[in-house]
Structure 1
Amino acid sequence: MRKWLKMSVLILLSFVFIIGLTACNSSKESLQKVQIGEVTRSIFYAPQYVALEKGFFEEEGLDVELSTIPGGDKTMTALISDGIDIALVGSETSIYVNAQGTDDPIINFAQLTQTDGTFLVSREKIDNFTWDMLEDTTFLGQRKGGMPQMVGEFVLKKHGIDPHNDLELIQNIDFANISTSFASGTGDFVQLFEPQASVFEKEGIGYIVASFGTESGHVPYTVFMAKESFLNEQKEVAEKFTRAIYKAQQWVYEQSAEEVAKAIQPFFEDTELDIITSSVERYKSQNSFAENPILDNDEWDNLQNIMDEAGELPERLNYEDFVNTEFAEMVTE
């Protein structure tokens, strides 16, 4: 009798497990699949990881698959060739592509970050930094034509420094190798994203002395974009996607930096929690994370002014033609 009872319990448990697994798979299959390609993995994109980790996309009925595609050019190639549905990349890349002419324009529809995300790191500790200290030094900047480098030059000029004559500007090192080059002795100053800036400060390799984000003003620095055809054919998906991002943006500003850091830590397994926390705190304190997904006209103009100042603007593009705020406005009402 006891043996029969034990067998019955095992069969019942197996049945429950199978039913649960089937229901889970069925639920997963009912979600609309969406593929995102991010230009890099960065704490700067914290709200995106929050949306994934907290289930905000699933709440909207979306099964989002995230892949990292290093380099704006590669990310845009994946978008144009339908390798991904949505790209998270700097808005300048959409300008480069759209200026070449296309039957299916790339449309910016949900803003994720609204300032530059880089910091000026000095090899030596400086208690009272002023921008003129960069004169006659070696400055390890970012890739030519990318937003970090263009904003970097814009800020230097704003402080009366000619980046091509008043200092030695190095901008021919790949993004992935910039921090390594500085650590090995190249440059007196370097322009870095978090968490690398904080890691260097903790290890005594360099010291954060200024923020390019606070100096440059609001720009559509990193934006979710898609082909116009996708937004026209998948309006419901675009709205749901944007709503999930907005939920995450609100959550990031409602929670402490430590809570945000804990939420996104699975995406940065090799980075210590205190570094993630300090990085999030820096970005929150200067409002680098957009508080809502709306990309406004002033930000678009500021972006093109910075590109023009750097000599990288192929042509000025109309806000109305390449920015769609329909979904962002719907979810923030």
Structure 2
Amino acid sequence: MRKIKHLSFVSCVVLIFLSACGSSENTTIKVGEVTRSLFYAPQYVAIEKGFFEEEGLDVELQTTWGGDKTMTALLSDGVDVALVGSETSIYVYAQDSNDFAVNFAQLTQTDGTFLVAKEPHPNFEWEDLAGTNFLGQRKGGMPQMVGEYVLKQHGINPQNDLSLHQNIEFANIPGAFLSGDYEYVQLFEPTASVFEKEGNGHVVASFGEESGHVPYTVFMSKQSYLEANKENIEKFTSAIYKAQQWVQETDSAEIAETIQGYFEDVDLDILTSSIERYKSQGSFATDPILDEEEWNNLKAIMEEAGELPEGNISYDELVNTEIAEDVINN
């Protein structure tokens, strides 16, 4: 017994020594997410399952509420990494920024919004939107651009064929839909399912199923930060990849239980059904690589919306796939 106690004491001394030498200290990375959404489930899984910690990282997550605010935080060094639509990196690049944002890890690969109607429409057709009062998303943002793209694919001109409203702040859209006379709205999960459960709306279609693969939400950093912190960004991407694989292999109920703390006001059954809805339509990227076909699809959507800046929007400059490829291969 005395021998065991002695070994325990020695182990404690070794642990204290290692701690004092700094070998157990993690590197902090500040992340700004454009909104809080179940759409970003793999990110929360990476935190809760300890995948970042396994890589020697501490992630400080803050919600920055909107693409413009998120990019302002990134460019002003308020955050090190931004989780936001990749269209924002194109807008910054087009302004001839000396230190533009580079996309290095994709998290979602479809649009994440659903078309919600105030009244039931069991036999809904996209053409039913003509002449209606439609509450859209912010002009120039991915939800609105994809929404317009899908409508046009179904022969509906958003500016001429319906009454389109885009003057509501992102965070206030659900409340505005409830209190206003809007007939349709684009909503993310779990808000769409909450509306259904409470009888305040009915999900009639998915924009994600209609639009195909796009780099909808991507982790990006300033060029200078990537160059100075490549090893840490590789570790960050590795943690995200582990989470992506775990989400693919795990049932929706377990995922919901794992990340429930990020959505304390939402019932577990709603979280589960919302995650399943995203999984079933392939919204969560299975790896962090943003390929050129997805990038070109994004540019086509932006061009259709009249939001693609002139000039060469270079995939090679704005997208770094080497980090993700190294993570996957190793």
Aligned counterpart, 1:56: 51
Q: For the residues of structure 1 that align with 2:14 and 2:216, how far apart are their CA atoms? A: 46
Q: 1:330 aligns with which of 304, 309, 326?
A: 326
Instruction: For residue 213 of structure 2, give the secondary structure of its aligned residue in structure 1.
Output: coil
Is 2:192 the counterpart of 1:201?
no
Is 2:150 the counterpart of 1:155?
yes
Q: For the residues of structure 2 that align with 1:168 and 1:46, how far apart are their CA atoms? A: 33
Alignment of 1:290-305 (within 5 A): 290-305=285-300
Aligned counterpart, 2:120: 125
Aligned counterpart, 2:283: 288
Q: Structure 1 residues 321 and 129, CA, compared in 2 at 3 Å: closer, same or farther?
A: same
CA drift of 1:138 comes to: 0.7
Contact 1:140 1:186 in 2 (8 A): no
CA drift of 1:185 comes to: 3.4
Q: Deviations over 1:137-193 (max 9, x none)?
A: 111111111100000000000000011111111111111111111111331111100
Aligned counterpart, 1:106: 101
Question: Which amino acid in 2 is paired with 1:146?
Answer: G
Question: Which amino acid in 2 is paired with 1:330?
Answer: D
CA drift of 1:124 comes to: 1.2
Which ranges in structure 1 are unaligned for 5 or more consecutive residues? 1-15
Aligned counterpart, 2:186: 191
Q: For the residues of structure 1 that align with 2:221 and 2:320, how far apart are their CA atoms? A: 10
Alignment of 1:210-221 (within 5 A): 210-221=205-216
- Give the total of aligned pairs: 318
Alignment of 1:145-294 (within 5 A): 145-294=140-289
Q: Structure 1 residues 128 and 26, CA, compared in 2 at 3 Å: closer, same or farther?
A: farther
Question: Which stretch of structure 1 is more off in the superposition, 56-65 or 18-27?
Answer: 18-27
Instruction: For residue 302 of structure 1, give the secondary structure of its aligned residue in structure 2.
Output: helix
Contact 2:19 2:25 in 1 (8 A): no
Contact 1:51 1:244 in 2 (8 A): yes
Question: Which stretch of structure 1 is more off in the superposition, 130-139 or 179-188?
Answer: 179-188
Q: Structure 1 residues 53 and 22, CA, compared in 2 at 3 Å: closer, same or farther?
A: farther
Q: Structure 1 residues 26 and 39, CA, compared in 2 at 3 Å: closer, same or farther?
A: farther
Contact 2:18 2:24 in 1 (8 A): no
Relative to the length of structure 1, the TM-score reads 0.92
Q: For the residues of structure 2 that align with 1:23 and 1:164, how far apart are their CA atoms? A: 64
CA drift of 1:233 comes to: 1.3
- Identity between Structure 1 and Structure 2 (%): 66
Aligned counterpart, 2:7: none
Q: For the residues of structure 2 that align with 1:178 and 1:261, how far apart are their CA atoms? A: 24
CA drift of 1:19 comes to: 11
Question: Which amino acid in 1 is paired with 2:322?
Answer: E
Contact 1:28 1:63 in 2 (8 A): no
Displacement over 4 Å in runs of 4+: 16-29
CA-based RMSD: 2.0
Q: Structure 1 residues 160 and 28, CA, compared in 2 at 3 Å: closer, same or farther?
A: farther
Contact 2:33 2:61 in 1 (8 A): yes
Question: Which amino acid in 2 is paired with 1:332?
Answer: I
Q: For the residues of structure 1 that align with 2:175 and 2:77, how far apart are their CA atoms? A: 34
Q: Deviations over 1:2-26 (max 9, x none)?
A: xxxxxxxxxxxxxx99999998898
Contact 2:116 2:205 in 1 (8 A): yes
Question: Which amino acid in 2 is paired with 1:121?
Answer: V
Q: For the residues of structure 1 that align with 2:54 and 2:209, how far apart are their CA atoms? A: 34
Q: 1:68 aligns with which of 55, 63, 68?
A: 63
